[in-house]
Amino acid sequence: MTKRVFYIISFILISIYCHAQSNNHLNFYIDNALRNSPLLRDYQNQLQSSQYDSLLIRATYKPQVTGTTYNSYSPILKGVGYDEIITNGANFSTLIGVNKQLPNKKLLNAQFQNIQIQNQLITNTSAISEQDLKKMVIAQYITAYGDLQQLNFNRDINSSLSKEETILKKLTEKNVYKQVDYLAFLVTLQQQSLLINQLSIQYQYDFANLNYLSGNLDTAFVLLDDPEIHLKPLPNITQSVFFRKFEIDSLALNNNRLLIDAAYQPVIHLFADGGYISSLAYKAYKNFGTSFGISASIPIYDGKQKKMQYSKLSIAEQTRANYKDFFARQYKQQIAQLTQQLTAIDELIAAINNQVRYADALMVADAKLLQAGELRIADYVLAINNYLNSKNQLTQNTINRLQLINQLNYWNR
């Protein structure tokens, strides 16, 4: 019994631990966002719904059976009433009719192809929406992660300063340092504490926005891991989902031409009916019967509507080509701009890293001099501020670098 309780408790603790760990990773929030997105679900439902469009088209070419009934009686009272030659006095009919349109292969193929093109468009639009959602979630994750880095760094600095404050207090009591210098250091320490509170609030705010974007209902406070995003090689522009839209639009326009051509083909119907039609005037019990036949509709002249529809499609094709060319130019320009910015920020980060090393070494050396009473507190405070500024610049530019990578990776699909 004791072992069983131990195993149950262990399982619960491991489950809680794994759940908490999963909340730290970027993929957790991306997966949640994709799973909870009503827009992506809508696209999936549209694809499922399109399966019935094909069935509906096939159903229109199956025999259509309808039942009709018409019953009327036109009385003549004292020679006054409708003309019996027209009304027959009475008219009773109950029929079952069958109507079947002969398939038009050109129209049928164009209709099926239109459904396939619409499915391609939905799939492509869904992929773009997925990229948009991923980009927003990753950007928000990076923002919250940057807040956390700033918060942790400043907490470490505050911890070090608190230790220095204890030493300075003793040195001040021994008259090694003036009281006013010690108070100046305390002001710096208090400012650091206020900054930590501010950064903590900012992290909570940005973390809440991350949960909101991903549809995550678990609001437990967690420490986010490194997003670990890296620059991915971009595909050829013609292979991206963003460019694919223009190819699908071209297919749709070509298919519209086929639909126009098919609409001008003859439409042939076969029909038959059977039932009861009688005026009850003569041997009503024998008025059961049937009829069948064929009808055709052949377009001859419609005021040149076909030519006008072709002209509209030509204009639409010009518009599509203009948007495609504009997108290609904007795409190349944006990729070049983002790549240039990424190169520049990499060089800046390298320079800031050197500055941080120098500022850190100076602060460590000044701390030793300060403890020995050989350095002014004001000089030590200046060294601290220089180090803080350098580290803040490094964190900000590192986060900016991740955001640039996120923007470049957005086009990688």
Same domain, 256 and 349: yes
In a domain, 11, yes or no: no
What ranges in 236-304 are assigned the alpha helix state H? 241-263
Same domain, 82 and 156: no
In a domain, 15, yes or no: no
Tell me how crowded residue 161 is: count the other CB atoms within 10 A of its CB.
Answer: 20
In a domain, 4, yes or no: no
Tell me how many degrees the CA angle 164-170-175 measures, rounded to the nearest 5.
Answer: 120
In a domain, 8, yes or no: no
Q: Domain count of the chain? A: 2
Same domain, 225 and 273: no
Tens of each residue's pLDDT in the chain, 413 residues: 454 544 444 444 444 444 444 678 899 999 999 999 999 999 999 999 988 988 888 888 888 888 888 777 778 777 776 667 666 677 778 888 888 888 888 888 888 999 999 999 999 999 999 999 999 999 999 999 999 999 998 888 888 888 878 887 888 777 777 888 788 888 888 888 898 899 999 999 999 999 999 988 877 778 899 998 999 888 888 888 999 999 999 999 999 999 888 888 888 888 888 888 777 767 777 778 888 888 888 888 888 888 999 999 999 999 999 999 999 999 999 999 999 999 999 999 999 999 989 988 888 888 888 778 777 878 888 888 888 889 889 999 999 999 999 999 999 87
Domain-terminating residue out of 251, 282, 298:
298
Beta sheet of 288-297, edge-to-edge order: 64-73, 90-101, 267-278, 288-297
Same domain, 288 and 155: no
- Token pair, residue 236, equals 């050829």
Domain-terminating residue out of 254, 281, 298:
298
Same domain, 209 and 125: yes
Q: Are 410 and 240 in contact (CB under 8 A)?
A: no
Q: Are 168 and 209 in contact (CB under 8 A)?
A: no
Same domain, 155 and 228: yes
Q: Are 89 and 258 in contact (CB under 8 A)?
A: no
Over its C-alpha atoms, the chain yields an Rg (Å, rounded) of 40
Angstrom distance (rounded) from CA 345 to CA 391:
15
In a domain, 312, yes or no: yes
Cβ neighbours of residue 140 closer than 8 Å, sequence gap 6 or more: 206, 209, 210, 213
User: Domain range holding 73?
Assistant: 64-101+268-298
Same domain, 280 and 362: no
Cβ neighbours of residue 356 closer than 8 Å, sequence gap 6 or more: 387, 390, 391, 394
